Structure 1
Amino acid sequence: MLTLLNLLSGVAMLIWGTHIVRTGVLRVYGADLRRILSHSISNRLTAFASGVGVTSLVQSSNATALIVASFGAQGLIALTPALAIMLGADVGTALMARVLTFDLSWLSPLLILFGVIFFLSRKQMRAGQLGRVAIGLGLIILALQLIVAAARPMTEAAGVKVLFGSLTGDVLLDTLIGAMFAMISYSSLAAVLLTATLASSGVISLKVALCLVIGANLGSGMLAMLTSSAQNAAGRRVVFGSLIFKLIGSLLVLPFVDYGPALVDWLSDEPAQAVVNFHVAYNLIRCVACLAFTEPMSRLCLRLLQDKPELDTTMRPRHLDENALSMPSVALANAARETLRMGDLIEQMLNGLLEVIKTNDVARARETRRMDDDVDHLYTAVKMYLTRVSREDLDEADSRRWTDIISLTINLEHAGDIIERMVTDIEEKKISHKLSFSEAGLQEICDMHRRLVNNLQLGLSVFLNGDLKSAQRLMVEKESFRDLERAYSYTHLNRLAGQSVQSIETSSLHLDVISDMKRLNSLFCSTAYPVLDDAGALRKSRMRDKPKSPKSPGAAAADDVALAVAADLQQKESSNDGAEPPGHPHPVR
């Protein structure tokens, strides 16, 4: 019983080690790896090479598949180079299996020792995450030693021999078991390494080992298909084409598997080395041969997996890739891109507001109010996406960025609510009574609207680039807009004193519109505060006095916004009418 537990613990450690290495590399180099994959699509050979390189680093063809599938779903990469990257990923994971079968027992304690030291001392820095990768590599090597040690006495047990003896003779059953183990372990690399270890210990025959290896390759394709099931048709085509390539390779090789043991004996006398060499040779030959058929496979996938028309008119997130949550820097970049989409929606609502004011167009008013539902939908999606990003893995800069993104999404959502209410007021107080603003009053509103749109665009630019000069200009525009609102209020009162009929009829609405525009402008200009604060250029009179906290400024700010989001989650989700709930948090200074 103890021997069986040792074997199971060794398998679990092997799986966990590959998981640690994969997540560690993705957290440190995730953005760079995605950039390499997205830029290496000029031809099939460069795409193939990028797939080999990236998968050799993350030690998981499934992780590469998830990244490439997300690119395909977003339309960032064509299907043909994506399939070439997937073929390269299969070769990359086979090469890593070959490297890990060398005698590296002396390296395991060193990797774990120094990995733990770096990870605990510099957890929030890149060196700490590289220490995490070293721990994972050390655990993989140690796990292989434990599996060998545990499997050796098991080979002498009669019951174990009978159990593994049932795997001999049925090629399809052995292949299916190999596929199931790759799916359960979430790694074809772990399945192949375990198979090589069992073959070296004499627990399974060489023929069974070869069938398990072929099944492990097929299982990795099935796993990628399952994990990408939530993607749209474009994303699913990538993993589906890769699975078809693997299935064709299996069908071509399995009928000749009886001749496999003689072939691998020629490659190596050691069973473990022979199994891994077969794994490398099989994937290399299969992938190079399939590389010439990526274009026909693309046409087949397009025919079998067609895009379905969208029946729901609600705008859906485009950039919130669930698979990037293990890479905080990439996840934050995705959330920032989706936040910019919210900004574009707010600009469209502002343009619709002005058209409603000018033309009394009821249909345009209805469409503008509906767009607030899209803003709310994106706001909820970004908010929930950011709450799933591990805060412990964020360094100081990423923690500040997390705060900036969630703050801007809250402000943009509040801006959408304000615009929706403004349109509703115009319908009730102006359109229904067939009133109109005076020529001078309408000109003032148009002038404020133009400045408001410009400040929104400038605020989004500051949010994206963090430019100090633009942030300073934005603060100047904020003060100028405030003075303009005050001046236009006085000129409106002068028109009332002059007994202007149009001004009298729309007086309350006119003052409400320019007051709401000032509130909107304050929300748009709030993106300048973090940039000015980081540069030490924020005037003290505009900074709220807070008691000092032992936490770093970025972490403390992130905690404040997290509390605001938690309160907003409780209040916002309970209301379906899109109205602003009481106590809505607005991190505008």
Structure 2
Amino acid sequence: MLDHSSFLMTLGGISIFMLGLNFASENLQKLTANRTRDLMASLSRRPFFGVLVGMLLTLIIQSSGAVTSMLVGLGSAGVFSLQQVMAVILGSTVGTTFTVQLLSLNVAQYGLVIFTFSFSVYFLTKNRTLKLVMAAAMGFGLIFLGLEMIGLGTEALRKVQTFTSFLQQLKENPLLAILATATFTGIVHSSAVTIGFAMSLAASGQITLVDAVYWVYGANIGTTATALLASFGGNYVGRQVAWAHCFYKILSVLFFIPFTEQFVEFVSLGSPQRDVANLHTAFNIGAAAVFYPFTKYGARLIERLFPPGPAEKQFTVKFLERGSYQSASVALAHAEREVLRMADIVLSMVKDSCTILKDESLDLEHDIRLRDDRVDLLNREINLFLVRHMEDGNLVSQQRMMRVIDFSTDLESAADVVDNNILDLARKKHTLKLEFSKDGWTEIQEIHRAVVDVVEMSVSCFQVEDKELAAKIIECKREIRQLERRLREAHIERLVKDRKDSISISSIHLDFLAEFRRIVSIVSNHAYELLKDTDPYHVLPRR
């Protein structure tokens, strides 16, 4: 085989390998989407369970780098703590060994057969689940086909002086081997490609098992590049997760390097491909076992090394992190204080919703979205906190806890209306460079003031549990419904008169009115609950 042909065969094999890996990963994720969400939701349990979750996620996604990148995003969003994420990272490094072990089974020659059979079934079937299974199988077929091409290409490359000289340099300088393979892995975003390449070289006798172990070290360090890149543009928590993954891999390599020869002797069984795969598996399992007891301390160290900047102080609960409470009533009191703090944030979002309608402000839009994330966090923490304490209280305490949970959920829903609906409408208005008519803007301000008043009354009513105030909220809700109808009719009258300033913004104007009324409906829910047993003011609808 000519020099350029052997290089093309090797590069083509790597390309097909990566394509297959990506194809298998995408379709496995589609096939197990619900299971993946369930696994991520279960991370609130023990750290050891996080390790198992990491293993399973990597088996599903077929990429530890992709799992870690996902964790960077979740950590940035404040969904999980750094310690929980570190446990998942340990598990993901173990889970990634499955693909490499599969590659070592000497089934590369069947790659084309697997791909052809899977494609035939995929093409003929109408069943969505079977299609996804066959698509994933096609991906594995491409992986095996790519591995076979890499093997053929590297076999021919042994006759190429440039390539053999480069390999010799890597053999003579283990540090260079680690750096080169780490760089290659970082570029292709897959340690499996690097390990598969090393397996092919070992099978053809171009590198020894001792040489291959440095490829394993480099591949494990290089796979951290995916998460590091994902952390750019995120907040400090995302950076902490990415660097925790990076330091874990580097420390693991530093821990194993002094014992490299003993390590190789321990896993050597005689089959080069299996031995390289076993090196990779033993390295990741051993590193996870060594560092698992220190995840708590590692998290603290990373938090000190990468603290938040002045504008990145982490928002968290203020009244719930007080250890174990003595009674359900004390827990309830703290939860009520937290939900009032949450209500202040929602009220500020509703107030600013009118400002963002009038003038475009990217800073204000970003700030409103940040406040919505904080509301989501508080809602989640309040609900989890009260559920943990609910069984400790009596029936009255449990009912009051449910009242707090319901109000917290309503506040979160109101915040979502601002974040998901009103902001999107405002962006549409500014993108299309539309303006409200003078009368239209006056009407928007009128209903906005009424909505702010109801939200303020709703928060006060929750705090003091005043039935008279609850009745007033329900009356105001009905008045706003009538106001919205009147303003809608006034807008339509302007349309009939063919006023161009009203026609161009018509749908947006009417949608704004509907969203403001929707906020009132949401924050009024608890007022109905307060009056459902007794209705001295006769404001509830009659059956």
| TM-score for the superposition, normalised by structure 2 | 0.62
Task: Kindly state the Cα deviation for residue 43 of structure 1 after the two structures are TM-superposed.
Answer: 1.0
Q: Note the 1:41-120 alignment, pairs <5 A.
A: 41-105=44-108, 107-117=110-120
Supply the AA of the counterpart residue of 1:288: A
- Give the whole-Å Cα distance in 1 for the aligned partners of 2:487 and 2:83: 56
Task: Kindly state the Cα deviation for residue 483 of structure 1 after the two structures are TM-superposed.
Answer: 4.9
- Give the whole-Å Cα distance in 1 for the aligned partners of 2:21 and 2:485: 60
Deviation per residue, 1:102-122 (Å, 9 max, x gap): 133475345323443465568
1:269 counterpart SS class? coil
Q: Does 1:411 align with 2:425?
A: yes
Contact 1:14/1:139 (CA < 8 Å) preserved in 2? yes
- Give the whole-Å Cα distance in 2 for the aligned partners of 1:199 and 1:180: 20
- Give the whole-Å Cα distance in 2 for the aligned partners of 1:239 and 1:57: 21
Supply the AA of the counterpart residue of 2:205: G
Q: Cα–Cα, structure 1 residues 477 and 414, in superposed 2: closer, same or farther, change >3 Å?
A: farther
Supply the AA of the counterpart residue of 1:188: S
What residue number does 1:499 align with? none
Supply the AA of the counterpart residue of 1:520: F
Deviation per residue, 1:241-279 (Å, 9 max, x gap): 1211211111122233244443333xx101111111111
Q: Does 1:303 align with 2:311?
A: no
Task: Kindly state the Cα deviation for residue 12 of structure 1 after the two structures are TM-superposed.
Answer: 1.6
Contact 2:59/2:96 (CA < 8 Å) preserved in 1? yes
Q: Does 1:520 align with 2:515?
A: no
Task: Kindly state the Cα deviation for residue 6 of structure 1 after the two structures are TM-superposed.
Answer: 1.1
What residue number does 1:544 align with? none
What residue number does 1:288 align with? 289
- Shifted more, 275-284 versus 516-525: the winner is 516-525
- Give the whole-Å Cα distance in 2 for the aligned partners of 1:94 and 1:524: 53
Task: Kindly state the Cα deviation for residue 286 of structure 1 after the two structures are TM-superposed.
Answer: 0.8
- Percent of pairs with identical residues: 22
- Give the whole-Å Cα distance in 1 for the aligned partners of 2:47 and 2:231: 23
Q: Cα–Cα, structure 1 residues 485 and 249, in superposed 2: closer, same or farther, change >3 Å?
A: closer
Task: Kindly state the Cα deviation for residue 219 of structure 1 after the two structures are TM-superposed.
Answer: 1.0
What residue number does 2:36 align with? 33
1:209 counterpart SS class? helix
Q: Note the 1:386-535 alignment, pairs <5 A.
A: 410-411=424-425, 413=427, 449=451, 483-485=485-487, 520-522=512-514
Task: Kindly state the Cα deviation for residue 74 of structure 1 after the two structures are TM-superposed.
Answer: 0.7
Q: Cα–Cα, structure 1 residues 153 and 414, in superposed 2: closer, same or farther, change >3 Å?
A: closer
Q: Cα–Cα, structure 1 residues 257 and 526, in superposed 2: closer, same or farther, change >3 Å?
A: same
What residue number does 2:171 align with? 168
Q: Cα–Cα, structure 1 residues 97 and 414, in superposed 2: closer, same or farther, change >3 Å?
A: closer
2:147 counterpart SS class? helix
- Give the whole-Å Cα distance in 1 for the aligned partners of 2:207 and 2:90: 29
2:183 counterpart SS class? helix
Q: Cα–Cα, structure 1 residues 54 and 517, in superposed 2: closer, same or farther, change >3 Å?
A: closer
- Give the whole-Å Cα distance in 2 for the aligned partners of 1:124 and 1:526: 41
- Give the whole-Å Cα distance in 2 for the aligned partners of 1:206 and 1:299: 37
What residue number does 1:22 align with? 25
- Give the whole-Å Cα distance in 2 for the aligned partners of 1:297 and 1:186: 25
- Give the whole-Å Cα distance in 2 for the aligned partners of 1:116 and 1:124: 14
Task: Kindly state the Cα deviation for residue 208 of structure 1 after the two structures are TM-superposed.
Answer: 1.3
Contact 1:72/1:238 (CA < 8 Å) preserved in 2? yes
Q: Cα–Cα, structure 1 residues 274 and 420, in superposed 2: closer, same or farther, change >3 Å?
A: farther
- Give the whole-Å Cα distance in 2 for the aligned partners of 1:126 and 1:68: 27
1:192 counterpart SS class? helix
1:146 to 124, 146, 149: 149
1:167 counterpart SS class? helix
Q: Cα–Cα, structure 1 residues 276 and 409, in superposed 2: closer, same or farther, change >3 Å?
A: same
What residue number does 1:496 align with? none
- Give the whole-Å Cα distance in 2 for the aligned partners of 1:349 and 1:159: 64
Deviation per residue, 1:106-154 (Å, 9 max, x gap): 7534532344346556899555444332221110011112222232233
What residue number does 2:158 align with? 155
What residue number does 1:274 align with? 275
Q: Does 1:215 align with 2:218?
A: yes
- Give the whole-Å Cα distance in 1 for the aligned partners of 2:141 and 2:424: 44
Contact 2:451/2:517 (CA < 8 Å) preserved in 1? no
Supply the AA of the counterpart residue of 1:164: L
- Give the whole-Å Cα distance in 2 for the aligned partners of 1:118 and 1:478: 59
Q: Cα–Cα, structure 1 residues 486 and 236, in superposed 2: closer, same or farther, change >3 Å?
A: closer
Contact 1:379/1:410 (CA < 8 Å) preserved in 2? no
* Aligned Cα root-mean-square deviation (Å): 4.5
Supply the AA of the counterpart residue of 1:87: L
Contact 2:350/2:452 (CA < 8 Å) preserved in 1? no
- Give the whole-Å Cα distance in 2 for the aligned partners of 1:244 and 1:61: 15
- Give the whole-Å Cα distance in 2 for the aligned partners of 1:94 and 1:225: 21
Task: Kindly state the Cα deviation for residue 374 of structure 1 after the two structures are TM-superposed.
Answer: 5.6
- Give the whole-Å Cα distance in 2 for the aligned partners of 1:452 and 1:158: 80
Supply the AA of the counterpart residue of 2:281: V
Task: Kindly state the Cα deviation for residue 27 of structure 1 after the two structures are TM-superposed.
Answer: 3.8
- Give the whole-Å Cα distance in 2 for the aligned partners of 1:352 and 1:380: 12
- Give the whole-Å Cα distance in 1 for the aligned partners of 2:149 and 2:448: 75
- Give the whole-Å Cα distance in 2 for the aligned partners of 1:220 and 1:63: 10
Mark the runs of 5 or more structure 2 residues left unpaired by the alignment: 314-343, 371-418, 457-477, 492-506, 520-543
Q: Cα–Cα, structure 1 residues 483 and 155, in superposed 2: closer, same or farther, change >3 Å?
A: closer
Q: Cα–Cα, structure 1 residues 420 and 170, in superposed 2: closer, same or farther, change >3 Å?
A: farther
- Give the whole-Å Cα distance in 1 for the aligned partners of 2:199 and 2:273: 4
2:250 counterpart SS class? helix
Q: Cα–Cα, structure 1 residues 446 and 141, in superposed 2: closer, same or farther, change >3 Å?
A: closer
Q: Does 1:245 align with 2:248?
A: yes
Contact 1:55/1:93 (CA < 8 Å) preserved in 2? yes
Q: Cα–Cα, structure 1 residues 425 and 451, in superposed 2: closer, same or farther, change >3 Å?
A: closer
Supply the AA of the counterpart residue of 1:80: Q
Task: Kindly state the Cα deviation for residue 451 of structure 1 after the two structures are TM-superposed.
Answer: 11
- Give the whole-Å Cα distance in 2 for the aligned partners of 1:487 and 1:225: 55
2:193 to 190, 193, 201: 190
- Shifted more, 273-282 versus 11-20: the winner is 11-20
2:171 counterpart SS class? coil
Q: Cα–Cα, structure 1 residues 59 and 177, in superposed 2: closer, same or farther, change >3 Å?
A: same
- Give the whole-Å Cα distance in 2 for the aligned partners of 1:108 and 1:136: 10
Supply the AA of the counterpart residue of 2:306: L
Deviation per residue, 1:79-102 (Å, 9 max, x gap): 111101001100010132112211
- Give the whole-Å Cα distance in 2 for the aligned partners of 1:16 and 1:412: 41
- Give the whole-Å Cα distance in 2 for the aligned partners of 1:123 and 1:421: 56
Contact 2:235/2:312 (CA < 8 Å) preserved in 1? no
Contact 2:71/2:241 (CA < 8 Å) preserved in 1? yes
Supply the AA of the counterpart residue of 1:302: E
Q: Cα–Cα, structure 1 residues 194 and 43, in superposed 2: closer, same or farther, change >3 Å?
A: same
- Give the whole-Å Cα distance in 2 for the aligned partners of 1:171 and 1:371: 57
Deviation per residue, 1:323-346 (Å, 9 max, x gap): xxxxxxxxxxxxxxxxxxxxx999
1:309 counterpart SS class? coil
Deviation per residue, 1:5-42 (Å, 9 max, x gap): 11221122112211222222234434542441232331
